[in-house]
């Protein structure tokens, strides 16, 4: 997308770029192969990958939100400090990357409160945003929103308004909305087409489909909905050299490893084609 081809409204909109800071072995789909009790024995690659992302952002003068695991923060505190010192938002991805839908309210509160405390202590800044691992707030655990508010967060980005085999609330609002607790939910971006919501906020779709699809979707949301998009990806998605798990199912291997070698260049194009900022600033008064 050339600068001349973009409309004035698209150029004026700042979208929210978000990174879920977890390592390759902490992905939910690979959980059977990497039990949490063994995580400390697995070689980590998250620091190298986040540093690469920080360099890409710095080259473009872009800001982002890093939804960071408390487990990662405790082991790589300097990484969290580099994120904060770069002017990016340090937000929470929980402590142990356990799905909210698999936890009791009490356990969920303990996990997200611990993560918030760890991140604030390291970053020296208030943590206001949270994202549930695997967008694991659905119709069966809507109570989680109240718990997030109870833990002291201001906003959540934990709902994906799509139909998916592992997550999603297809009928949820597509854009930020306030809950009774005062918490603001910022759903990952979707595009409305043919009577349904289509994923337009990154993740595996960004790697699977041609880059032009993501560019078109985000531009359409900016132009037609006149709204900023919220886009996400993971540090392991810029790391084609990560260890491969041959024992994982064919479906999991495809989802996790497809086009890893292309992600970095696609991100460079994405950073050049749109304006990007922190989620807390982009959506400050959105709901």
Q: Any idea what the CATH number is for the domain that residue 155 is in? A: 3.20.20.370
- Report if residue 1 sits inside a domain: no
Q: Which domain holds residue 181?
A: 15-283
Look at the chain and report how many structural domains it folds into: 1
The DSSP secondary structure of 100-163, one letter per residue, reads GGGS-HHHHHHHHHHHHHHHHHHHSS---EE--GGG---GGGTHHHHHHHHTT-SEE-----S-
Could you give the 3-state DSSP secondary structure of residue 191?
A: strand
* Per-residue confidence (pLDDT) for residue 164, from 0 to 100: 62
- Report if residue 147 sits inside a domain: yes
* Per-residue confidence (pLDDT) for residue 162, from 0 to 100: 82
* Per-residue confidence (pLDDT) for residue 7, from 0 to 100: 54
Biggest CA-to-CA distance, the chain: 53
Q: Report the 10 Å Cβ neighbour count for 19.
A: 27
- Report if residue 7 sits inside a domain: no
pTM of the predicted protein model: 0.94
- Report if residue 183 sits inside a domain: yes
- Report if residue 68 sits inside a domain: yes
Grouped pLDDT means (10 residues each) for the chain, 287 residues: 50 93 95 94 97 98 98 98 98 96 97 98 98 94 97 97 73 94 96 90 94 97 97 98 94 93 98 98 89
- Report if residue 9 sits inside a domain: no
- Report if residue 8 sits inside a domain: no
- Report if residue 3 sits inside a domain: no
């Amino acid at each position: 997308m050339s600068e001349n081809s973009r409309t004035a409204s698209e150029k004026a909109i700042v979208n929210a770029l978000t990174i879920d800071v977890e390592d390759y072995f902490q992905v939910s789909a690979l959980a059977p192969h990497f039990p949490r009790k063994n995580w400390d024995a697995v070689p980590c690659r998250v620091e190298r990958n986040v540093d690469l992302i920080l360099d890409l952002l710095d080259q473009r003068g872009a800001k982002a939100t890093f939804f960071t695991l408390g487990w990662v923060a405790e082991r790589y505190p300097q990484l969290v400090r580099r994120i904060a010192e770069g002017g990016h938002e340090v937000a929470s991805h929980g402590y142990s990357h356990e799905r909210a839908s698999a936890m009791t309210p009490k356990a969920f509160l303990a996990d997200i409160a611990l993560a918030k405390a760890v991140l604030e202590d390291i970053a020296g800044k208030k943590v206001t945003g949270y994202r549930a691992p695997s967008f694991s707030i659905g119709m069966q655990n809507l109570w989680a929103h109240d718990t997030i508010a109870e833990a002291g967060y201001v906003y959540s980005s934990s709902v994906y308004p799509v139909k998916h085999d592992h997550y999603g609330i297809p009928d949820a609002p597509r854009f930020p909305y306030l809950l009774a607790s005062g918490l603001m939910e910022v759903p990952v971006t979707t595009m409305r087409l043919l009577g349904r919501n289509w994923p337009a906020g990154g993740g595996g779709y960004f790697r699977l489909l041609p880059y032009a699809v993501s560019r078109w979707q985000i531009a359409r949301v900016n132009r037609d909905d006149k709204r900023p998009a919220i886009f996400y990806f993971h540090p392991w998605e810029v790391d084609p050299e990560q260890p491969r798990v041959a024992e994982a199912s064919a479906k999991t291997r495809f989802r996790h490893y497809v086009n890893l070698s292309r992600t970095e260049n696609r991100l460079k194009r994405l950073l050049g084609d749109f304006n990007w900022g922190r989620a807390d600033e982009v959506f400050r008064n959105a709901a």
